[in-house]
Each structure stands twice: as C-alpha cells, then as structure tokens.
Structure 1
C-alpha cells in the first residue's frame, strides 16, 4: 500500500472515533516497513493552537519510526479536556497519549490514569539517553508533572503569562506601557486606546467560560488584587473585598474597552483580534506571542511585551502551565512503547530545531520546555524570548498569593474539584459581565460552590 492511501485510511479511522469537524493529521509511517504483526497506530489529540498545528505538519513529514503510525487530531481546548478526562476516568483506549497539563498530571498519576515513564527511560540505551538530555529540560516544568520523583508526562511546551500591546497604537496616542503595569494602569491605558468609531478595541482577554479559558487570566487577577479562594482552614474566601475588586476590574475592562462579543472569545479569537492590528492590549499566555511574530503576521515587530499586571501582590502574578504528553496505562504494551518513542521525538532538542527549520520566526517552536531552546540564535533573537524566560524565572510557585493558602497552583487550584467549581465560577463571572446577575449574586453563588466543595472533598477539618 502506498503512503498516501495508508495515511488517508488512518485519518478516516480516527475521524470515526472523534467528533465531526475535528481536524485530523496523520504521520510517522515506517521507513523500513511494518513489523510482522503490522504497524502500531498511536492516537493522540492536541489543543488547537499554532504550535500543535506545526507538530501535526512535522509529524506527517518528519517522524520516522519503524512500524509506528501516528494519528494526530487537533481539537478545541475545552473539547480536548472533556474527552481526555472521560477517557482517562473510564479506562478508555481511544487515545494512547494523553495531552494534559500539571493540574491533571498530579491527580491522574495518583489515580493510576497515567503510566509511570521512568521504566521506559531506564530501558533506553546510554546513547539514546544522552541524545534526549533530560537535564536540559526546564526542571520546574518537569517537576510539575512528577509524583514522588517519577515523571508521568513530558512537557511539550510551557508558558507563563504576560502583557502584550500594540506599539503603533500606543505611539499614536502618546502612551507608554510600564514594564510592571498595575491593573489600574492597564484599565486606564485600555480606555485611552479604545476607539470604537474606528474599530479599535482597547483590550482583549478570554471571555468564554471554562476554568482553562476565562478562568486562567481571571484567577491570576484575583491573586494580583490580594485575593485567594481558601484560607488555611479550607474555608472559602470568595466573598471578600479583594475578590470583589478583581471581579469588578475584569468586567470594567471588557465592558469599557473590550471586544463586543465578550463571551465568545477564546484565545484563538483574541489572537485573531490582536493580529488584525485593531487591538491595543492583550493579557494571556506567553506561548501566544509566537503567532503574533510569525512571518505572515500583520503585526510582526509591532508588539511590545511587559510583565503580568500587579496590584496588591507585586510579584508572581502570572501563571505556570505546560502542555505535556503522558501515556495511557490502559493501552497495549506495544502501543505504550510506540507512544513513548513518539513522545521522545516530539519533546527532543531535535524537534525544536526542526520546528525552526519549518518556521524560522520561532512561532512554531515549543517554548519553555528546554533551556537549550533559548541558546539557539534563531530563537533567542525573537522579541518575546527574553520576557518569556524572565517571567518563568520570576515565578514563586510556593507562594502564589499575598496571604498563605493550603493549595498549589497559580491560575488554578490543584484539587480534583476545581475543574467543576472553577468552571461554575467562570459561568457566574460571564453572567455578571453581561448583566444577567449582580456582583453580589455572582460572588455569593461562587462562595457557596467553593465552600461546599471543601466540605464534600473532606478538606475542612
């Protein structure tokens, strides 16, 4: 069978497993022919963003492993989270590689939903281990995916968060962005840039509900204003002046200077708006900067970068996240070995170099996963590299808030219940932003949800 028909058949098979409309890529066929029992097919899905799209292209054109085919789907982030959580919790085998973040990794490893990767590393030859160079990986990212010292996933790319702004729009208004802006300063700058008559939006942020959508920037905003979600006795602290200030600021920015259709905006819509040159400020993940600086981007070279906004908390107001690859423990042994081979390739230094060959602008290169990436001249020179690295180095993971908290996480709370209660919070936030409910209702509803979760989860003593 020729390569093209085989890839088409593989893609069709994966489409039958996924929802209609999913974008599917396939790659990684054998160079030397399949094993006697036929090629092993590894199924994996990634969140829909430019870095994942580049991975799909390189998988199809560059991944060569004897007897291994890879079916790679790119899904909307909320869909991906839902599918993989259902898959992992029910012991499904639709996907052989789970693409997750540190929030899932800790809980899933404890639940037995991820395979321990250390036995696979121990089985590698010394040459293969030297080639992979685990010491080169950014250790904060690796540790966020480990349990009792063992890795249960490998970081593909990481991110913190920072402030992006259009230098041309700022210059036209005679404005200057501070290196460490406060949220009050961001609001005033956004209002000055905002010019609806000429189609200019002052500031964009994620508005779509979801703990990993609007929840990501919003929780860091709560942290910046000195808020927290639980005190040291696991009593909910949503109904506080600090939290109220964050809720009010989020609404003010998006209502007074934000996009029209607030609640439909994920990071994809925010990126598109920023790339149009019609938006002044955008607070989001550091990994979003690459497409803004891509060769075909209309705003290439026109974007400035500053730290995440501060307020009462003067440091550590950004977030830490990575998209990582773990192995489904319910997959067959052959599939698990094939999955590990693909993970090594996709998270290697060689892959970083291939991504720069594909796109010399660096917009397709996985950031914040390997230290050596920032030593490559082609990548070190991109406008956002220095700020990204400084942001990651300034993260204080042990003290995410102004006052002590019993939980870990910068833009999330690392408890299993947060996926549900965080999403409920963002729905109340959305309803408040569009005037469906009052601030008092939104705050009180969220307070009850968080308090009940602490009781039901047995966190309160």
Structure 2
C-alpha cells in the first residue's frame, strides 16, 4: 500500500476518533464576499470554552471589512464535515480546528496552510503584541512540521500525578515531586485497602488508543521503550516494553479499581472525587473537577510530575485543540482567518476570557505561559505543576532512543488510530489474564510490523 493510498484511506482512521473525544472546528456555512465584506465562517465543538469564544468574539473582535461567523456544533458533525472538507480540497471552511494528530498528518498531505509566511508579513509592533515566545513551545511544536507552524494552539493539556493528601498522611507516606513508576506502584500498594473501600491508584483501563492508550504509551516511553527503530522495524518485543506492560498490569491488578476495563476518565474522576482513591494519573485538565464544589477531595489533592523510570524527562502526554488554515481558501479569506486566529490565541483574548469568568473556567488552558501568572490561575493548587509539566515536554522527542515518528501518547501516523486501539485490546486481555504477556507482545509486535509494511514506511 503506497503513501498516496494512505492519504485516500485517511478517512477510515479519522472516523475512529468518534470514541476518543477529539474535537474539530471549522465553518458551517459557505464563506462569501459580498458588498466589500469578507465573511469567514468558523464552527467550534460544543463545549464551554468554545461557547465563550463565540460570545467574546461577537462582542469584542473588530476587523475592518471582515465578518466572522462562528457556529457551535456537535463535535461528531464536525469530525465528518472537516475530514471530508480537508481531504477533498473543499472551500466551505476557512479554519480547521484540529489536534496534533491531525496537524502532523494533514500538513504532510497538503491539507493545511503553512503559517510562517503570514507571521513574516506581520509588523514588528504586531509581533511584539502577539509574543510567540510566550506560547508553550511543546504545544507549538505539536502542530508544526519541520519547524514551521501549521496551526495555533487554542487550549490543551498535558498529564501529571494527582494524589489524595489525606490518605497519604493517614499512612505516613510522602509523594516525591518527581516519582518513578516503581515508587508510584509501591505507594499505591500501601494505600490500597479494599476492606475499607480504598483504591490505591486509578488509571484508564477501557480499551481505545485515546483511553487506556494515553497513560500506557507514556508509560512505555518512561521505561525507555519505543514502537519502531529508525528503520521502522517494530520494537515491542523488548525488555523496556515488557517492563511497561508488566507495570501497568501490576498497578491495576494489585492496587487499582475493581472493574478495570470499564474505567474511562469519567469513572476515574468520579472515583478520585469520592475521596476513596489514593493516586490518579491522567490529564492536567482533570484537576479543576477535583477542586470543584462538591468534590470530597477539594483542597486535599497534591500534584506532582508524571512518573519517569529509565527516561527521566518528557514522560507526560500532550494534546491541544488548534486552529489551522484551509489552503484552498482564497488569499483574502485566508488572511482574514489568520488575523482572527492570532487574536483568538493572544494574551488579549486570555484577558477577555477572565473578565467573562474570573474563576478561569472559560480561559483556554495550556496555551500560554503567561496565563498561569493571572489571578484566575496562579492561586489554583494545580497551576504551578501544570505549567512545570507543560514546559518540560517535547512532542518531537518522545522516546529515550531515536525514533522515526513524533507523538507522546500516540504515534502521529494515520494508521495509529486503528493499530493503537488494537494494541489496547491486547493490553486489556493481558491485564485480565485472557492472554499471556508473550502472546500480547507478539500480537502487538506483529501488528506494528504489518502497519510499517502496509504503509510503505520501510
């Protein structure tokens, strides 16, 4: 199967995103130019941060001769519409609201506009106002190709350890600020007390590349594992990978929730909020619900760096929702859309969002370092560790040894949506003793070798 065929079959991989909460946005109606006005249509996925952008833009964004029409739509509709639009060269939408997984593939396919020429045309005053250096560089790198930006991060997340300080104090335990996975395992076992309804540690256990795959792949990275060598030979059957598989199973079987495979992040959040769980490894965006009114652990949660092992840094995951330009739109529309994207990802927009809600709940997280100096964020118990985690990640160097791919909790190739999901099913079968570790490793190694062959990577 040649690379042009991979492009044609990309639709199949993206359809699998329906189960992974990946959010897209773009225009809902035809853009048009009438009466000297350039109309840019943008559609956003239906969530509070997107709804805030629609409101703030409607009341505050002013550009002479430009009308920005924002729609907020169910994300499933957006997934179908934007995939069709991008891959067929349609011009209905001027802005694609995508994540790093899409950005890397779409940039290679020619489905996204290179943004560097637009930045080059900016005045010195505008460049200073926008302050690209303030953007969190791991986020920027995740939607770039060969050093050039193909999208602008709007909001996102990384990952870290959250732990119940009350349960730790009751056991006389101390959480290191930068723990190893071995330390996390030992602490979880000491906290675990089924007789009292206490779970030592929770993680996503439900199969899916965006479910159990998210914590698991970062665990593989931390243990020094990788999925391919530089010649695209699968490297799943290695001591490093085996150690990661074994650790994931040990934690969940010996100190985890009872119904391991039913747990998505929703169930994990609920368990942690109940006060009956000691440790939780997941996204930084999970922290606010833990500190919310009604949470039994509000004010009682500690936050530390994601666990390392053989690899000492860059062991978190990274995701964001970013805005990219449709390369098939005409130049006038592209410039108008770019100008809006710059405003929507600026410090000015961040300030306006905090004025709408002083709590920071509607402020895009994980896009700018300066956001974490604002009153709405700096006092939050998770703010400092969130920023520290974000500033330590590098999307382009996911593993200890060199690899031919990028991506921290996944591999940014079109085939990974399917292959990663199959891998997590083998992982689930291994965790519940349906298959042995040898069987799980062989199946996964064979799977990734076949992906490399079918995708003409080697």
- State the TM-score, normalizing by the size of structure 2: 0.80
SS of alignment partner, residue 322 of structure 2: strand
Q: Please, which of 51, 54, 68 is the counterpart of residue 56 of structure 1?
A: 51
Residues 450 and 117 (structure 1), Cα distance of their counterparts in 2 relative to 1, 3 Å cut: same
User: Take 1:170 and 1:356, find their aligned partners in 2: how far apart are those partners?
Assistant: 34
Residues 398 and 348 (structure 1), Cα distance of their counterparts in 2 relative to 1, 3 Å cut: closer
CA deviation vs aligned residue, 1:384-431 (integer Å, no higher than 9, x gap): 222222223333556533333333332222333323322221222223
SS of alignment partner, residue 226 of structure 2: coil
Asked if the contact 1:42–1:335 (Cα under 8 Å) also holds between the matched residues in 2, the reply is no
Q: Name the counterpart of 2:411.
A: 413
Q: Name the counterpart of 1:274.
A: 272
Return the offset for 1:271.
2.6
Give unpaired runs (5+ residues) of structure 1.
1-18, 29-33
Residues 74 and 381 (structure 1), Cα distance of their counterparts in 2 relative to 1, 3 Å cut: farther
Residues 263 and 344 (structure 1), Cα distance of their counterparts in 2 relative to 1, 3 Å cut: farther
Q: Name the counterpart of 1:381.
A: 379
Q: Please, which of 447, 453, 458 is the counterpart of residue 455 of structure 1?
A: 453
Residues 419 and 35 (structure 1), Cα distance of their counterparts in 2 relative to 1, 3 Å cut: same
Q: Name the counterpart of 1:395.
A: 393
Q: Please, which of 178, 195, 199 is the counterpart of residue 176 of structure 2?
A: 178
1:113 and 2:111 correspond = yes
Asked if the contact 1:157–1:368 (Cα under 8 Å) also holds between the matched residues in 2, the reply is yes
Asked if the contact 2:396–2:406 (Cα under 8 Å) also holds between the matched residues in 1, the reply is yes
Q: Please, which of 75, 89, 112 is the counterpart of residue 87 of structure 2?
A: 89
User: Take 2:144 and 2:172, find their aligned partners in 1: how far apart are those partners?
Assistant: 48
Q: Please, which of 338, 341, 344 is the counterpart of residue 343 of structure 1?
A: 341
Return the offset for 1:248.
2.0
Q: Name the counterpart of 1:72.
A: 72
CA deviation vs aligned residue, 1:164-219 (integer Å, no higher than 9, x gap): 11112222332221112222221222233334444433222122333232212111
Residues 318 and 263 (structure 1), Cα distance of their counterparts in 2 relative to 1, 3 Å cut: same
Give unpaired runs (5+ residues) of structure 2.
1-17, 28-32
Asked if the contact 2:204–2:212 (Cα under 8 Å) also holds between the matched residues in 1, the reply is yes
Return the offset for 1:230.
1.6
User: Take 1:414 and 1:354, find their aligned partners in 2: how far apart are those partners?
Assistant: 34
Select between 364-373 and 117-126 the one with higher mean Cα deviation: 117-126
Residues 93 and 250 (structure 1), Cα distance of their counterparts in 2 relative to 1, 3 Å cut: farther
Which structure has more relative contact order (CA 8 Å, sep 6+)? It is 2
CA deviation vs aligned residue, 1:317-354 (integer Å, no higher than 9, x gap): 22233321213335677765564454334312122223
SS of alignment partner, residue 67 of structure 1: strand
User: Take 2:311 and 2:148, find their aligned partners in 1: how far apart are those partners?
Assistant: 33
- State the TM-score, normalizing by the size of structure 1: 0.80
CA deviation vs aligned residue, 1:45-94 (integer Å, no higher than 9, x gap): 44x7xxx4233134235533463321123548xx9767754553344667
Q: Name the counterpart of 1:262.
A: 260
SS of alignment partner, residue 114 of structure 1: coil
Paired residue total? 426
User: Take 1:338 and 1:161, find their aligned partners in 2: how far apart are those partners?
Assistant: 35
Select between 295-304 and 245-254 the one with higher mean Cα deviation: 295-304
CA deviation vs aligned residue, 1:85-125 (integer Å, no higher than 9, x gap): 45533446676533322232122112111133345556667
Residues 374 and 72 (structure 1), Cα distance of their counterparts in 2 relative to 1, 3 Å cut: same
1:367 and 2:365 correspond = yes
Which structure 2 residues correspond to residues 211-230 of structure 1 after superposition, within 5 A? 211-230=209-228
Return the offset for 1:357.
3.3
Residues 339 and 430 (structure 1), Cα distance of their counterparts in 2 relative to 1, 3 Å cut: farther
Return the offset for 1:246.
1.2
Asked if the contact 1:35–1:67 (Cα under 8 Å) also holds between the matched residues in 2, the reply is no
Residues 393 and 118 (structure 1), Cα distance of their counterparts in 2 relative to 1, 3 Å cut: closer
Residues 396 and 128 (structure 1), Cα distance of their counterparts in 2 relative to 1, 3 Å cut: closer
CA deviation vs aligned residue, 1:201-248 (integer Å, no higher than 9, x gap): 322212233323221211111122222212233211111222122112
Root-mean-square deviation (CA, aligned residues, Å) is 3.4
CA deviation vs aligned residue, 1:230-280 (integer Å, no higher than 9, x gap): 223321111122212211221222233333443343333333332333322
Asked if the contact 1:231–1:405 (Cα under 8 Å) also holds between the matched residues in 2, the reply is yes
Q: Name the counterpart of 1:290.
A: 288
Asked if the contact 2:52–2:362 (Cα under 8 Å) also holds between the matched residues in 1, the reply is no
Return the offset for 1:359.
4.0
